[in-house]
Amino acid sequence: MRILISNDDGYGAPGIEALACALESLGEVTVVAPGGNRSGASNALSIHGTIGVRQAAPRRFIVDGTPADCVHLAMTGLLEKLPDIVVSGINCGSNLGDDTLYSGTVAAAREGYMFGVDAIAFSQIEPGWAELESAAGIARVLVRAFLDWKKRQEQTQGATLLNVNIPMLPAAEVKGFRTTRLGRREAARPAKCLDRTGDRSLYSLGPAGDPKDAGIGTDFAAVRQGYVTVTPLQVDFTDVTQINPAASWVESVQFTVE
Ligand code: MN
């Protein structure tokens, strides 16, 4: 069993260290992670320019790039063989609902999935690294159960991409696992203007919006109740409900060059 581990908090972050330790007993672990914190990088790839890589130890690589760069490069250059699974995290903070679009943690997993490899992203719902051992233990339990389930599936089923959020609780207080769908957030909070001098301004972006759809069945609801949430993801953004409404006007647009 070959396990590729990455994250977006960076190679030195406690979360990836704990995850690598926890999964060591399940197979051959390779860590390929960004040199610094690249949270919020989504699936950005450094397609312009070059990417520096430093081998820190056997099967340990520090990449001067994004989380997606790390997994992409591992898949296409660093590893002799594709891994059996890509595991990302454990992230410092939740990745719920719309967060999955921006998250580098989710993106590292999604990049593996793009190569047809099973992938799981793990996040702790509060920053601060409390209960990290508990979270790492939970990650190991879930990865092992996933691999067992996968072994029983037909080879033709294709790859699976899972987004997992872990409550910030001692393992004994976690209620169990729940399969969920993504909730939705309100639009992000306003940006803050920190400084203005002449024609130059300095802004910081506002935080993510509060949960808007956090009802029954969502990741927001279940994790709040103390469950580990497991949300299967896909990468196809097509809104099938809008194909016919769009066709009603798009296909009657007269194409004329003015
Ligand atoms: Mn992060």
pLDDT score for 154: 80
Amino acid 257: pLDDT: 80
Residue 258 C-alpha to ligand 1 middle, in angstroms? Answer: 48
Looking at residue 105, its pLDDT comes to 98
- The confidence score (pLDDT) of residue 58 equals 97
Cα(91) to centroid(ligand 1), Å: 5
> Cα(190) to centroid of ligand 1, in Å?
21
Q: Output the CA 15–ligand 1 centroid distance in Å.
A: 10
Tally of CB atoms within 10 A around 169: 19
Q: How many whole angstroms from 123 Cα to the centroid of ligand 1?
A: 8
Q: What spacing in Å lies between the alpha carbon of 101 and ligand 1's midpoint?
A: 13
Show the beta-strand stretches assigned E in the chain: 2-6, 28-34, 53-57, 60-63, 85-92, 118-124, 161-166, 176-179, 184-185, 192-197, 200-204, 211-213, 227-232
Residues 86-131: pLDDT tens digits? 999 999 999 999 999 999 999 999 999 999 999 999 999 999 999 9
Ligand 1 mean position to 92 CA, how many Å? 5
Extract the residue ranges of the chain whose pLDDT is less than 70.
none
Whole-model pTM: value is: 0.96
| Spatial CA neighbour of 237 closest among 72, 43, 23 | 43
